Amino acid sequence: MRQPGRATIIPVASGKGGVGKSIFAASLAISLARKGEETVAVDLDLGGANLHTYLGLPNTNPGIGDYLKQRLASLGELIVPTTINNLRFLPGDGKTPFMADIPTPQRLQLLDEIQKIPARYVIVDLGAGTSLNTLNFFGLANNGIIITTLDTPALMNALVFLRSFIFANILTLAKENGAIRKTLLDAYRQPANKENLTVERVYDFIARHDAPLAEKIKRRCGYFQPRFVYNMGEEKEDGKVAERMEATLRKNLSMRASALGLITYDPEVRKAVRRNEIFLPAHPESAYARCLNEIVARVRQQA
């Protein structure tokens, strides 16, 4: 789905924090770079930027935070080299704690600049949660990656993330019809009850008032096909959980998701993180690296 001359952008989101998103984003970027692909890793976890640690870099470079505070003219000049061939890094916020929300014009400018980064792959580490920033950044690609552990809270948060993502997109696309937009906002605000507000029901509702708008929204939202990575799992649980997630997403969000693969729990990861090692180059034969390799092969096939 890449435009000619542009990078394949891969946003990595999670819903829940602490599920291994940043080390996955870093390892994915490192692996692609080691396979000869020009790659830029971008830290868009603006509240908790720490991708640099997984890339073995100090937290001293100016980053997107400084760009947003308008200390710098263009995003490109913030990209720094790493110790890994073919891999460069765009820091999130180098020094100061980040101010919470980015105003929409700045957010759009940021999205535009990220799409112009010259590389083959741009891997974007996003913040946990469902802030509008994160939801917007996830839309940088139609097939962004959601990483989750196999624990119920993480799976639930991944679903909540995608639900917020699709509802936010529907709202944006419905902006031309103020009455529909208002009714949708009211409906979204209702407490969740037995009668789940599915995306199908939302489409039906819009179609009753404005059939062409419903068709347009359906088509645009049908374009999103998120890809799942299941982390810290055990081989045998994988298939069933993935099937259940995909069925739930189809039923509740009319969304076609797929699984990129499972990464097993690997005690070497934590040890390496504590030693401040860059995990992948230090442990190329580890269980984590083997799982990652299969995922990277699929990512390249699908790019």
Ligand X SMILES: Nc1ncnc2c1ncn2[C@@H]1O[C@H](COP(=O)(O)OP(=O)(O)O)[C@@H](O)[C@H]1O
Task: Provide CB contacts within 8 A for 179, sequence distance 6+.
Answer: 209
130: contact with Mg ion by CB under 5 A: no
Smallest separation, CB 263 to ligand X (Å): 5
205: contact with ligand X by CB under 6 A: no
User: Which is nearer to ligand X, 257 or 263 (by Cβ)?
Assistant: 263
Site for Mg ion in 11-40 (CB under 5 A): 21-22
Smallest separation, CB 53 to ligand X (Å): 8
Query: Which of 266, 280, 295, 299 touches ligand X (CB under 6 A)?
Result: 266
**Stretch of 114-122, 179-187, 198-206, 258-266 contacting ligand X, by CB under 6 A:** 258-266
User: Which is nearer to ligand X, 65 or 129 (by Cβ)?
Assistant: 129
145 binds, among ligand X, Mg ion, none (CB under 5 to 8 A by kind): none
Smallest separation, CB 286 to ligand X (Å): 9
User: Which is nearer to ligand X, 122 or 280 (by Cβ)?
Assistant: 280
43: contact with ligand X by CB under 6 A: no
Smallest separation, CB 52 to ligand X (Å): 12
22: contact with ligand X by CB under 6 A: yes
- The number of residues in the chain equals 303
Contact 80, 94 (CB under 8 A): no
Site for ligand X in 274-303 (CB under 6 A): 288
Write out the two tokens for 136.
């917007």
213 binds, among ligand X, Mg ion, none (CB under 5 to 8 A by kind): none
Query: Which of 6, 17, 181, 302 touches ligand X (CB under 6 A)?
Result: 17
Q: Which stretches of the chain bind ligand X, using CB under 6 A?
A: 14, 17-23, 231-232, 263, 265-266, 269-270, 273, 288
Q: Which stretches of the chain bind Mg ion, using CB under 5 A?
A: 21-22
